[in-house]
Amino acid sequence: MEAKLIGLGVETFKIALLLSLPMLMGGLIAGLAISIFQATTQINEMTLSFVPKIIIVVLIIIFMMPWMMNLMMEFTTDVINKIPTFIF
C-alpha cells in the first residue's frame, strides 16, 4: 500500500517537472540572451528583462497547451483508475 502511494507521489513529481520544464527552459534561455544583450549594450533597464521573458513563457504555454493537457488528462485518468487499488 505504501509503495503504491510513494510511486504515485514520484509519478506526480515527474509529471510536474515535465509540465514546467518547457516554460522554465524558455525563461532561462530568454533571460540569458537578454543579459548578454544588456551587458554588450550597457542598457540596464529593468523592464527589458521582464517583458520578453513573460511573452516567451506565455507563447510556450500557448504552443505546448495541447501536449500539456493530454499529459494531465492521461495522468488524471490513470490516478482515477488506480483509486480502487488504494482503498484496499
**Threshold 0.85, pTM exceeds:** no
DSSP output for 37-54 = HHHHHT---HHHHHHHHH
pLDDT at position 25, please? 96
Q: With a cut of 80, say whether residue 88 has pLDDT above it.
A: no
User: 15 near 71, Cβ under 8 Å?
Assistant: yes
Q: Residue 55 falls within a domain, yes or no?
A: yes
Q: Residue 88 falls within a domain, yes or no?
A: no
pLDDT in tens, 19-66: 999 999 999 999 999 989 988 988 888 778 888 899 999 999 999 999
Q: With a cut of 90, say whether residue 87 has pLDDT above it.
A: no
Q: Residue 84 falls within a domain, yes or no?
A: no
pLDDT at position 78, please? 94
Q: What type of residue sits at position 66? A: P
Task: Give residue 21's domain range.
Answer: 2-79
User: 57 near 26, Cβ under 8 Å?
Assistant: yes
Number of domains in the chain: 1
Q: Residue 21 falls within a domain, yes or no?
A: yes
